[in-house]
Amino acid sequence: MGSKEVFALFEFDHTISSGYSGEQPSIHRRPSRQAEHEQEHAPLPRADGGRDAWLFLLGSFFIEALIWGFPYSFGLFQEYYTTHAPFSNEPSGIAVIGTLALGIMYLGAPFTFALLQRFPHHRRRFAFAGLVITSTALIGSSFATRVWHLILTQGVLYAVGGSILYFPTIIFLDEWFIRRKGLAYGVMWAGTGVSGVCIPFIMNWGLSRYSFSTMLRVWSIVLILLAGPLLLFVKPRTPVSPTSCRRPISLAFIKTSTFWALQTGNILQGLGFFMPNIYLPSYARAIGLSSIAGTVTITLFNTMSVFGQVIQGALSDKLHVTTVILMSTIGATLSVFLLWGLSASLPLLCIFSIMYGLSAGGFSSTWTGATQEIRKRDDNAELGMVFGLLAAGRGIGSVVSGPLSEALLSDQPWRGEATLGYGTGYGPLIVFTGITAMCGGFSWVGRRAGWV
């Protein structure tokens, strides 16, 4: 600090101590500039470890579980709505609720990230606002008397609130973890797998004893009590640059072959990814197993997806992303064709659920490595926009898989004409899932062709 600055600060302190109340603009501005300078250059919290980083990751894990676990468990509400008044007389529109919620969250990700990038100073406020909107949506849906009420509240409003509550954590995590980025994202995304194991049992128990209104209100309270305090730890690590909100959003990276090679495989894998999770219970009944067998297969899939997310995320920190994608692709493809297609008993179906969860269930953890490869080609690529477009690619599969699977199963083709699983009427669905799983490795081919 120069002698003039020292003298000015001394003179400022002297005027305060002597009780002088006159205006001294040049003197009063100096301490504020000094304080601002110290704030800008204050030491940052430790990345890749330390109390703040691990608390952030813990909070992100549970927010992931709370926000995504609910729409992924919508099948239980769908079954309840179709068999209970006052919604059972409108069964055709009920399936739209869950599809719409996931579709908006996935396909709306680029727009949400654009909003967060345009107003970086308000990202934490958006998260708290999202919690309020999501809780309001659940409470509102508990008073629904028509299916369109549920579509607007449990479908649209929940998805909007969940998006602006959840997606800031993606941006913040990029600041908290650098060397362990893939592992951290894998741990956070494993929250969906954990909730996929726990929430269905909780909702099934609750809906069998209480009304849907009670369960929706209880879940709203749970969301506030758990997510509210956790948001105190979900915060940025680095201060927002004054120029960041004025920086235009760059989409130049979508012109690179790297982006399209990775996105193509991501979209193709997503087209078939959701089908086993949707149809395993009905497939179990088709081969003569009890209803509890279907629940067991889904539980195994969701449980192993937790490990798949963490393992593939950690591998993305050490290996090229296309290598990790290839490993996931091989495991998923073989498990579909050799285990699901040939299964006619519970043990083999359980082995399929385990292998498919480990391989296909962890595919989204490769997005971290994909983002790093894309940013190598374009330094101006924002993490949020890259993640948003990858999520939108997965969202295409979420939306399309419903009507597409119905078309594949409409006439029960190959039933009685093929053997084992292929002859149950689910044969085309199994083959389609296996082919899309294989196409998920397109980026590995793209790397060999020099596109990645």
Residues 229 and 367 grouped into a single domain: no
- Please state the rounded mean pLDDT for residues 390-410: 84
Q: What is the CATH number of the domain that holds 284?
A: 1.20.1250.20
Say what the pLDDT of residue 67 is: 93
Task: Name the token pair of 259.
Answer: 């982006």
Contact (Cβ atoms closer than 8 angstroms) between residue 361 and residue 233: no
Residues 245 and 255 grouped into a single domain: no
Contact (Cβ atoms closer than 8 angstroms) between residue 305 and residue 359: no
Does residue 112 register a pLDDT over 50? yes
Look at residues 249, 265, 295 and tell me which one is the last residue of a structural domain: 249
Task: Name the token pair of 127.
Answer: 């998260």
| Lowest-confidence pick of 2-16, 363-377, 408-422 | 2-16
Say what the pLDDT of residue 125 is: 94
Cβ-in-10-Å burial (0-12, 13-18, 19+) of 118 comes to middle
Q: Which residues contact 364 (CB under 8 A, 6 or more apart)?
A: 189, 309, 394
Residues 340 and 203 grouped into a single domain: no
More confident residue, 4 or 148: 148
Does residue 271 register a pLDDT over 80? yes
Say what the pLDDT of residue 166 is: 95
Most confident residue range from 24-28, 97-101, 335-339, 419-423: 335-339
Residues 11 and 77 grouped into a single domain: no
Residues 30 and 52 grouped into a single domain: no
- Please state the rounded mean pLDDT for residues 369-386: 90
Contact (Cβ atoms closer than 8 angstroms) between residue 302 and residue 423: no
More confident residue, 263 or 243: 263
Residues 178 and 260 grouped into a single domain: no
Please state the length of the chain.
Answer: 452
Residue 246, SS3?
helix
Q: Which of 321, 57, 119 has the alpha carbon at shortest distance from 129?
A: 119
Look at residues 228, 249, 270 and tell me which one is the last residue of a structural domain: 249
The DSSP secondary-structure symbol of 155 reads I
CA distances from 106 to 119, 270, 359, 390, 392 (A): 21, 12, 21, 9, 5
Does residue 1 register a pLDDT over 80? no
- Please state the rounded mean pLDDT for residues 328-348: 93
The DSSP secondary-structure symbol of 340 reads I
Say what the pLDDT of residue 373 is: 94
- By 3-state DSSP, what share of the chain in percent is helix, strand and coil, each rounded to 5? 80, 0, 20
More confident residue, 70 or 358: 358
Say what the pLDDT of residue 242 is: 64
Confidence bin at 42 (pLDDT 50/70/90): low
Does the predicted model carry a pTM greater than 0.85? no
Our separate counts of H helices and E strands in the chain read 20, 0
Chain-centroid distance of CA 366 in Å reads 13
- For 209, other C-beta atoms within 10 Å of its C-beta total 9
Does residue 40 register a pLDDT over 80? no
Q: How many domains does the chain have?
A: 3
Residues 411 and 263 grouped into a single domain: yes
Residues 274 and 209 grouped into a single domain: no
Task: Name the token pair of 192.
Answer: 């969906």
Does residue 16 register a pLDDT over 70? no
What is the largest distance, in Å, between two alpha-carbon atoms of the chain?
99
Residues 256 and 361 grouped into a single domain: yes
| Lowest-confidence pick of 53-67, 161-175, 284-298 | 284-298
Range of the domain at 19: 3-40
Residues 20 and 78 grouped into a single domain: no
Residues 271 and 338 grouped into a single domain: yes
Separation of alpha carbons 26 and 230, rounded Å: 43
- Please state the rounded mean pLDDT for residues 260-283: 90
Query: Percent of the chain, pLDDT > 90?
Result: 51
Look at residues 215, 249, 283 and tell me which one is the last residue of a structural domain: 249
Say what the pLDDT of residue 20 is: 37
Say what the pLDDT of residue 246 is: 60
Separation of alpha carbons 341 and 434, rounded Å: 9
Handedness of CA 16, 18, 20, 25 (dihedral sign): negative
| CB-side neighbour CA atoms (13 Å) of 29 | 3
Say what the pLDDT of residue 37 is: 45
| Lowest-confidence pick of 90-104, 387-401, 419-433 | 90-104
Residues 308 and 178 grouped into a single domain: no
